Amino acid sequence: MTQDEMKRLVGAAAAAYVNQNMPEGITLGVGTGSTANFFIDAIAKHKNRYRGAVSSSDASTARLLHYGIDVFDLNQIDDLPVYVDGADEINELGHMLKGGGGALTREKILASVAKEFVCVVDASKCVSVLGFFPLPVEVIPMARTSVAHALRTLGGMPKIRVRPDGDIYMSDNGCIILDVHRLKIIDPEAFEVAVNQIPGVVTVGLFAHRGADICLMGSVSGVKKIDYRGEMT
């Protein structure tokens, strides 16, 4: 089974999980990235069951609208029962490293208000220690040099994210992203706080203080559900 096939399997499993566990008429929280895209593809078949969605990126919004799913601003809704999104890495406690797709700030906002965070990944994303994948940090442009210096003092090697054409990558929020290499994040909660306290940082792609509630992990043997609140199936 290829990685894309595993992602498609997990996306379908997430749609089934939401359909079975969430009431009709709710607004769904939808993340960003390739696995989230497969979830959108799968949930589109059941779009009439839901009011619509709130999205963490312009790209996901476009995909949802393509399927005729209404997309709301977060300020327009009072309740977000579930948020479904992928991760670049996830550990045994449900702490995640996210932001490879550049939407970490909006992802963190949606995660913070969602009652349940369902993380959808393939088995390659499960790690014992976070940090092999570069840690994204979204930064106000004028602070990129000072923030980079502060990140080096924390033991990382920050690099400005660029697009394939060589231009600096700009987030949907008009900010730059520093990808921090050579990290071994032993205490994700403490490191999240340390980076967020650097002046000029919008947010860091560590989701430790608000980690996943459920992980649906795809592998060659199928989809395993890990409940960080105490169950594994």
Distance from first CA to last CA of the chain, Å, rounded? Answer: 21
- The catalytic site residues sit at 107
Domains and CATH numbers, the chain: 3-127+209-232 (3.40.50.1360), 135-205 (3.30.70.260)
Answer whether 85's CB lies under 8 Å from 98's CB: yes
**Residue 86 annotated as part of some ligand binding site:** yes
* Paired tokens of 52: 């619509």
Give pLDDT tens digits for 183-230.
Answer: 999 999 999 999 999 999 999 999 999 999 999 999 888 999 999 987
**Local structure of residue 163 (DSSP, 8 states):** -
Q: Report pLDDT for 147.
A: 98
- C-alpha dihedral over 88, 8, 94, 222, to 10 degrees? -130
Computed over every residue of the chain, the mean pLDDT equals: 96
- 32 pLDDT band, cuts 50/70/90, is very high
How many CA within 13 A on the CB side of residue 217?
A: 24
Taking only the tens place, the pLDDT of each residue in 55-113 is 999 999 999 999 999 999 999 999 999 999 999 999 999 999 999 999 999 999 999 99
Asked whether residue 94 is marked as a ligand-binding residue, the answer is: no
Total-model pTM:
0.95
Q: Is 60 annotated as a binding residue?
A: no
Kindly tell me if the per-residue pLDDT of 232 is higher than 70.
no
pLDDT at residue 231, rounded to an integer? 58
Answer yes or no: is 85 a known binding residue.
yes
On the question of pLDDT at 5 being above 60, the answer is yes
Task: Report the pLDDT averaged over residues 121-145.
Answer: 97
Cross-strand bridge partners of residue 201: 139
Q: Is 88 annotated as a binding residue?
A: yes
Q: 71 - beta bridge partners?
A: 53
Task: Assess contact for 82 and 28: CB atoms under 8 A.
Answer: yes
User: Residue 71 phi/psi, 5° resolution?
Assistant: -115, 130
Which pair of tokens denotes residue 175? 């900010």
Per the CB < 8 A criterion, the answer to whether 11 and 38 are in contact is: yes
**Pair type for strands 52-55 and 27-30:** parallel
